[in-house]
Amino acid sequence: MLLGLMVSVGAIAGAKAQTVEIEYWQYVFDARVKAMNELIKRFEAANPNIKVKQTTFPYADYQTKIAAAMPAGQGPDVVQLFYGWLDNFVGAKFIQPLPRDAFPPAMIEKEFYPIVSAMKRDGEYYALPTAVRSLALFYNKKIFQEAGLDPNKPPKTVDELLDMAKKTTKRDGAGNMLSAGITLDFPGQDYHWWRETLLRQNGGAPYSDDNKTVTYNSEAGAKSLNWYADLQRVHKVGQVGFMDEGQAAFRAGRAAMTIDGSFRLGAFGGIKNFEWGVAELPASADGKKANFASYWVNAITTKPTGEKLEAAKKFLAFVTTPEAMQLWLETVGELPARKAAAETEKNLNHPIYGPFLKALAYSHATVFVDELAQRQVSLDMINRVLLQNQDAKAALAEAAAAEQPILDRFYKK
C-alpha cells in the first residue's frame, strides 16, 4: 500500500511539472457557472497540459474580492467583469491589453459586433465578451387574443404599442388595475429603453460621443420622457410598482407586454399557463430603431507571465470561439458576441432569439463610470415626474445637473 501511495504521489508530482494551472473568476449565476464548467471541460480536453480552476463569488462581493486579491499578487489570471467596470480595472492596472498576436484588433472589429468598441482604449482592446444581451418586447399571446388582437402580430411601432396597451389593460369597477397593458418598471429595463431607444427615436442622444458630457437634457429628452410618463399619467395603461416588478407581473399573466433583456428568457421559460412571444422593440412612427446592449467580458489580468500568460491567451481565445458562444446561448440564453456565430440561419429565424439578435445590429452600449449612481439619477428623475408631477424639462435638467459631476469626477482623474 505504501508503495502504491508513493507511486501515485510521484505520478501527481510528475504531472504537475508539465501542467500549467490558471485561475478563472466570475460571479455566481447558476447558468453561467454551469456553462463555464462545460467550457473548461472541453478546453482541458483539447489542452491536456493546462488546468483551469474556476472560482466564483456572490455578485455583491465580486468587485471587492478582486480589489482585495489583486494588489496582494493573488487572484485570477483570466477574469470576468461587467463592461461598465472597464475603466476602473484599467486604471488600477488589474488587466492588460489583449496581446495583439492572439487578438488582432482588425479581427475583433471585423468579427465581433460593433458594441465591443466600448472595450477599446487608446487603440488597444482590453477585454472580449462571450455573449451579449439586448432588449426586446415580451407579449402575452393569451391576453392579446382575449382583447381581440392577433396573437402573432406584436406592435411594430410605438403608436401601435400604445394602442395595443390600451386595448389590453384591465381594471375593476373602482378603476384599480387588474392587468397592465405594458409594465412600467424604470428600475428594471425601462430606464435603458427610455435612454437608448425612446430618446434616440426622438432624435436625441444620452451622452456626447466621448461619453464625457450628459446630452439628454434636450427637446428630444423631454418628448421621450413625456411619452413614457404619459403611459401612466394620461393613458393609464401601466402603473409603476404594479405587482412589485414588471417581470413578476408578466410572469403572473397580469401584463400584456413587458420590455426586458435576453437574460430573462430563463425565468420566462418556466411560464406554463400562457404562451408568450418576443418581438423587436417597437420602432418610432418614422421607422427609427434603437436598442441597448450590454455584456460581461473576459480579460487577462496583469498577473500571468510566461507560460501562464500563454495559457491564459489560449483560454480566452477558446471562450470567445463561435463554438463556445453557441453553448453559452443554449445554456445561459445570452447572445453570441460574434456576428458569424450569432447570425446563423437557425438563430436569426429562431422565434425567441431572433428579435434579440436582430437588435444587435442597431444597439448602443452606454459607457458607465459608476453604473449604480448613474442609474439612481435616472430613477430619481422618473420618480419626480410620476410622484411629484415635476415637469419633464425640469426633471431632465435636474438629472443632468446630478449626473454630470459623477462623470466629471471620473474623467478628471
Partner 1 sequence: MRQKQVLWAWSFLAVPILFYAVVRFYPTLEAFWISTTNWNLLTKPSFIGLANFKRLVADPVFWQVFRNTALYLLLGTPISLLLAFTIAYHLDRVRFLHGFIRALYFLPFLTTAAAMAWVWRWFYQPVPIGLFNNLLAGIGIAQQPFLRSTTQSLPAVLAPAIWAGLGFQVVIFMAGLRAIPTTYYEAARIDGVSNGTILRRITLPLLKPTIVFLVVFSSIGFLRIFDQVYNMTSQTSSDPGGPLNATKPLVLMIYQTAFSSFDMGYAAAQTVVLFLVLLVVSLLQLRLLRDR
45 vs 372, beta carbon nearer partner 1: 372
In contact, 289 and 306? CB cutoff 8 Å: no
| Interaction residues for partner 1, span 1-60 (CB under 8 A) | 60
- Those residues with Cβ within 8 angstroms of residue 234's Cβ, 6 or more apart along the chain or in another chain: none
CA separation for the pair 114, 339 (Å, rounded): 9
Three-state DSSP class for residue 272: coil
Considering only 47, 383, 393, 397, the residue that binds partner 1 (CB under 8 A) is 383
Residues 165-184: x/- map of binding to partner 1 (CB under 8 A)? Answer: -------x-x-xxx------
152 vs 176, beta carbon nearer partner 1: 176
Q: Which stretch binds partner 1 (CB under 8 A): 62-70, 106-114, 116-124, 301-309?
A: 62-70
> Own/partner pairs for 31-39, CB < 8 Å, 24+ apart?
31/266, 31/331, 31/332, 31/333, 32/332, 34/331, 35/327, 35/328, 35/331, 35/332, 36/319, 38/327, 38/331, 39/318, 39/319, 39/324, 39/327
Considering only 18, 273, 388, 389, the residue that binds partner 1 (CB under 8 A) is 388
188 part of the interface to partner 1, by CB under 8 A? yes
Considering only 373, 393, 397, 404, the residue that binds partner 1 (CB under 8 A) is 373
* Least spacing, CB of residue 349 vs partner 1, in Å: 31
226 part of the interface to partner 1, by CB under 8 A? no
CA separation for the pair 124, 118 (Å, rounded): 11
CA angle 64, 33, 126 (to 5 degrees): 55
Q: Which stretch binds partner 1 (CB under 8 A): 40-48, 74-82, 273-281, 366-374?
A: 366-374
40 vs 79, beta carbon nearer partner 1: 79
* Least spacing, CB of residue 376 vs partner 1, in Å: 8
96 part of the interface to partner 1, by CB under 8 A? no
379 part of the interface to partner 1, by CB under 8 A? yes
Q: Which amino acid, one-letter code, is at 168?
A: T
Number of H helices, E strands in the chain: 19, 13
370 vs 403, beta carbon nearer partner 1: 370
Q: Identify any residues that bridge with 120 across adjacent strands, giving them in sequence order.
A: 125
| Interaction residues for partner 1, span 240-299 (CB under 8 A) | 240-245, 254
339 part of the interface to partner 1, by CB under 8 A? no
CA angle 323, 328, 329 (to 5 degrees): 100
Residues 75-94: x/- map of binding to partner 1 (CB under 8 A)? Answer: -------------xx-xx-x
Three-state DSSP class for residue 143: helix
Going by C-alpha positions, the residue among 344, 337, 354 that lies closest to residue 136 is 354
* Least spacing, CB of residue 168 vs partner 1, in Å: 16
User: Which residues form the interface with partner 1 (CB under 8 A)?
Assistant: 60, 63-64, 67-68, 70, 88-89, 91-92, 94, 172, 174, 176-178, 187-188, 239-245, 254, 370, 372-373, 376, 379-380, 383-384, 387-388
